Chains A and B, each alone.
Chain A
Amino acid sequence: MVVASLIFIILLLLQVPISFVLGITTIIYILLSGNAGLLATAPQRLYSGLENYGLLAIPLFMMAGELMNSGGITKRLIDFSKTLVGHFRGGLAYVNVISNMLLASIIGSATAQIAMMSKVMVPSMEKEGYSREFSASTTAAAGLLGPIIPPSMLFIIYGVASGASIGDMFLAGITPGILLGVAFALLIAYVGFKQQWPTHQRAPFVAVGKSFFNVIPALLVPIIIIAGILSGAFTPTESAAVACVVALIVGVMYKELKWKHIPYIMINTAVSTATITMLIAMANLFGWMLSFEQIPQSIATWMTSLTDNPWVFLFIVNIFLLIVGMFMDGIAALIILVPVFAPLLASYGIDPIHFGIIICINLTIGLLTPPVGAGLYIASALSNVKLELLTKAILPFLAVSIATLFVITYWPQMVLWIPNALK
């Protein structure tokens, strides 16, 4: 176990792809533990970790994101938010949050969203005089809304791993998502007031009307998705495919999407999908080894021996997950940890949907915590801000996110009222 952990860390630091780090560690562990017979079944296990209907949403959300960027949908969502809140003190920072909320109702992944928005938002904020670190950190933080406001890849993965209803998870994500968005807005208002940012002219009514008119087709994407899911036309997983088709049509309507874009979109989709799904395949191999050794059970037993109180238990879990999130990718952690915690919930009387929201938000925050934080890397690379500077700039956003996480943890009704109301 110690040797395997050491190898794990060394490989990580050597810049070996994280998915392969998981695979190599698993294989070395199996060899060391003398169960070499298990290795013969490794490729099969690698394969069948992917044979999962819920995972289909991943490439399709990626594709939808690419189509929306190429088709001018993202740009129009931002223009529209600008005419709404652009005139407030710190206007563009709010635009960033609101555009991310709109985008989040279409896209299901934080990293996809951070990548999309870093390219568009950071340069325009910088042009208006915001520091680049602040612009990049606002974009990265607001991107966290992606998997919290439905639809959400993380919720789908949680549903698949725990057996909880994905539809309920989607509904339960709405209030926490809005709460987090509002919390970010409050932080921006506070910073803006302290630093005395300038205010701008309100957009003339004609301009508001025009940009609203322009954004209608773009807003059709989330409307069609939500209406389609609620009316039973399609399942949440299928909604990702519908999002692509609608984004394709809208992009053509805007006359921005061209045939020649399509091959690039598909190739980018393949590569960005694989960075996640390869990780899932390898994490499955890793998790399978843990199951064989019954390690999740021993961790779970140890955790439950600490307390009988559900609130204390949730506190410990949150701290534990925040630490895990610092070092591990959220999706991989979700896949490995859900089977550990899911069986414990009943004895503590914790609702699996509530717990799902907690674990997903917690691990999403991990995207922005160093040393391992995909969201942080993407924002830093795409907006050209040194990682150290970005990390410093993002601390207030992290503090707000963690505070929101604890509100959500200790106020289950806030999470559960929508799914319960619709039952």
Chain B
Amino acid sequence: MPRIQQTGAARPRTVAVIGALLALAAMFFGAAGAAGAAAPPAAALPAAAAQAGAAPSSLSGKTFVIGTDTTFAPFEFRDAGGELTGIDMDIIRQIAKSQGFAVEIKSLGFNAALQALSSNQVDGVIAGMSITEPRKQIYDFSDPYFESGVQMAVAKSNTEIKGYQDLRGKTVTAKTGSEGETFAKSIADQYGFAVKPLDQSATMYELVKSGNAVAVFDDYPVLAYGISQNNGLKSVTEKEKGGSYGFAVNKGRNPELLKAFNTGLAEMKSNGQYQAILDKYLKDPAKAAQSSFWDLLASSFPALLKGLGNTVLVTAISFAVAMVIGLSMGFLKISTNVLPRGIATTYVSVFRGTPLLVWAFFFYFGIPQLTGQPIDIWVAGVLTLSLNSGAYITEIVRGSIQSVDPGQLEASRSLGLGYAKSMQKVVVPQAFKIMTPSLINQLIIMLKDSSLLLVIGFAELLYQGQQIYAGNFRITETLLIVAVLYFVVIMLLTKLANVADKRFNK
């Protein structure tokens, strides 16, 4: 708050003007918005009302990037139309509206969202996140907006497990880094079971249904919602008294955003909007009708096609970049000079010797922390895929050039053509013919590897699939559709590449 006042001497007058404009605007937004912004005396929160006048002045017109989980229904999930919805989404959007700022939601996954917050890739995170002491060390939290609690669920058909005492010698699952995991681990020794943490609610439920874990510890609203959506589980214990959920910003950053959140939340609680949102998702969630596979296909197809488009586009761009890298490095690799050869060899060993995932995390989360500059997810994705593939293409190029008969270079040189000219006119055209099948292979590998970019929240095909099954819990069917889409595209691509190969490499 003091920081806001220090930022400019001309502020008070601007505040007054904007405040008046907002009050006018609020009248058009209807009673909901007006209750907080334009009618301070009526509210039982005079402090909040005073802030309401000040906060929009510094936030109005601003857009904040908010990170969230992908799979935490009913707090965040995608509806049948592929739109992000849920308690968190309704709350943050309502607050943004009442406080006069815009939000851009990035559905990254829980851990990825927190990493993005630490690296300032996002301004805030709302992801059904419990306020804990360790998290308070690195983030600034809002007032709690939800009182949660952990509950245990088992497969619907399971009649053996009725309480914690039945878990001896068994394995249970819980979400990595969640309250559920903390609670499960705190009683694991006492009841003699093991905990296997996973990243997503939907996969945890699959693990339980498949019998690889007997029970899941998850936040009760999440479990309750999943059960209502036919996720195949039932809850068997009462909820444990648990933590509170809060909205977080990076330590010391965006204090005005945090303040606006608190103000907006207080308003929502006082005018009944807050309770309406909770009731919408928890008291009476629309019970999912058992729909057919074809309904699933029809409803998920637009979102999956969008993902497929991103998959194809990121692969196309990355492959073009990888070809440039691979050709340059391939030539350095066959150089007789030690220095260029050393550069190429080092590049290949580094990128061929390390997992793609490490680089995806490094480029998207690591680089911004080193430089202080956020990085676009497309840039990070293309860097990851192209540098990885470029290493393999380097070797393909080197191998192909070296497998051209040395007599070809000698014949060209004996005619008086220089080394570069001979390579360009005689050796490389023949090397291209040799390398084409390997390049097609590399392209197909890259198309499939691009699915790994889902870890940084890149909206490619498999990621879209995850988003869909996170909401409807139909993992197997959704993955089947995803697999068929990959298969069809790769088959078409292979045919196309072979036709091109025949045409250009007669």
Q: Do A and B come from one complex?
A: no
Binding site for B on A (CB under 8 A): none
